[in-house]
């Protein structure tokens, strides 16, 4: 891969595994220095030893209001600038709504929606002052279709889609591009909540993809000429409908 992101400072939330890690690694391969944000301090430490000086570690619990609020200021103290924010962290609830509970719903909406909005809100003044930047959010196929098995998760990703597209229209005059990527099922810890039979059936049918496929879509978004903005990329395993 050529060094399209050489000299850029990127921030990736939920970076200790899955889509976040795959995207962080792709950005580093393209020349960026990447701040890996996650609440899992031991996992980040292992990654720091593996990834070298292109990786900066940031332990943040996005479900903790004080930790979330401190994230962008703490990163700016370490880096001096942020060129890319990839708001990727999220969790999943599937199944029938009556089988979940209020605390679980709050936790998912706080991470999937509120933390994304707070992180973008926090970074915008910096990007406006520096005259540009890129913001990407992880939405989902569930943010484009009302999926029967995912009423709460779908609602959260519809919210991300609306927020991403509305914010894009507000900040484009500042040289800031805002985009989203909308994956289908990805082989990651996010699917741990799937019923075992459904997960196995999807695996057997080839209806689950690797996180690297989503990372490639994120890189496509970030490496377009500045006069091009990708609103959304839907990335699906070919056999999802099989």
The set of catalytic residues is 153
d(CA 39, CA 84): 20
> Cβ(30)–Cβ(7) under 8 Å?
no
Print burial letters for 99-110: b (CB count within 10 Å at least 16), e (below 16).
ebeeeeeeebbb
> Cβ(17)–Cβ(214) under 8 Å?
no
- Closest by Cα among 73, 44, 36, 12 to 215: 12
Let me know the angle formed at the C-alpha of 88 by 127 and 209, rounded to the nearest 5 degrees.
Answer: 140
The answer for 14, left when phi > 0, alpha when psi is -120 to 50, beta otherwise, is: left
Order of strands across the sheet with 55-59?
Answer: 55-59, 33-38, 9-13, 84-87, 133-138, 176-183, 232-235
């Amino acid at each position: 891969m050529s060094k399209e992101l050489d000299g850029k400072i990127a921030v990736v939330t939920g970076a200790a595994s899955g889509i976040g890690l795959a995207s962080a690694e792709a950005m580093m391969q393209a020349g960026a220095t990447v701040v890996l944000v996650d609440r899992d301090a031991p996992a980040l430490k292992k990654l720091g030893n593996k990834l070298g000086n292109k990786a900066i570690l940031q332990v943040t619990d996005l479900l903790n209001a004080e930790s979330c609020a401190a994230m962008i200021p703490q990163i700016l103290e370490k880096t001096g600038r942020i060129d890319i924010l990839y708001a990727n962290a999220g969790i999943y609830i599937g199944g029938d709504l009556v089988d979940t509970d209020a605390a679980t719903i709050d936790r998912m909406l706080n991470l999937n929606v509120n933390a994304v909005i707070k992180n973008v809100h926090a970074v915008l003044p910096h990007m406006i002052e520096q005259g540009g930047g890129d913001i990407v959010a992880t939405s989902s196929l569930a943010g484009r279709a009302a999926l029967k098995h995912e009423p709460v998760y779908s609602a959260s990703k519809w919210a991300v889609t609306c927020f991403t597209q509305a914010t894009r229209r507000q900040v484009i005059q500042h040289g800031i591009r805002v985009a989203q990527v909308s994956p289908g099922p990805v082989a990651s810890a996010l699917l741990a909540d799937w019923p075992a039979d459904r997960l196995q059936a999807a695996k057997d049918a080839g209806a689950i993809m690797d996180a690297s496929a989503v990372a490639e879509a994120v890189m496509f978004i970030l490496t377009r000429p500045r006069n091009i903005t990708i609103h959304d990329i839907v990335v699906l395993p070919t056999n999802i409908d099989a």
